[in-house]
Homo-oligomer: A and B are copies of this chain.
Amino acid sequence: EALGKQGWEILSETCELIPRELITIADAKRGDIGNTSKAYARAILDELDCDGVTVSPYLGYDSLEPFIEYQDKGIFILCRTSNQGSTDFQMLKTEYLGQKRFLYEVVADKASLWNRYENIGLVVGATQQEELKKLRLSYPKLPFLIPGIGAQGGDLKATIENGTNPNGELAIICASRGILYARSGSEFAQGAAEAAEQMRDAINHYRKRF
């Protein structure tokens, strides 16, 4: 968007260049009222044909439903994000079903209730290991999308220990800046490829214990 209409073109071409056997998740963080959400869902899941998307929960169920209705796509709801300001609201104590729960826990619980097509996951930052562990114990079957490794400083080993299920699965660990900006200029592609390979090897190393 920062690049205007060229931005969409580049995004669209990038999506086309990615081989179909690789999974694409658009980190769009959309959350709007029904008819607008429907248009966003169509743009990202139909036009760009991404396999998954991130969505923001503040507007509630009807803002997410147009995404969830794409039953063969993965819908990742922002739950406990990796950024510093995430404590402002996500860590508020709320009254929920007669219990005291953090707001992010209510989001996780509602997400699991809305999961009739089994296509919902949660976004949980690798900078929040305590909550990652707690959420994995509470929701053993939900896929987690885990940003915050690399540039943001999340620990990979702890993330795999806390974020995967007992088989070392259901955690999609993502790195953006650490890979995108590994090297610049003409070495960009080489640098990004190496950084991605290193991370893949590290992930598989830590997963060996499973």
Contact = CB atoms under 8 A, between A and B. Distances in A.
Interface of A: 1-9, 12, 29-35, 39-40, 42-44, 47, 56-65, 78, 81-90, 92-96, 100, 103, 106-107, 110, 177
A96 B103 CA distance: 12
B61 A2 contact: no
The 6 closest A-B pairs by CB, nearest first: A60-B85, A60-B88, A2-B39, A62-B85, A5-B8, A61-B85
A177 B33 CA distance: 12
Nearest to A1: B43
A82 B85 CA distance: 25
Contacts of A30: 29
17 contacts: A1-B8, A3-B43, A4-B12, A5-B9, A29-B31, A29-B56, A31-B31, A56-B56, A56-B58, A57-B88, A57-B89, A58-B89, A59-B81, A60-B86, A62-B84, A94-B103, A103-B103
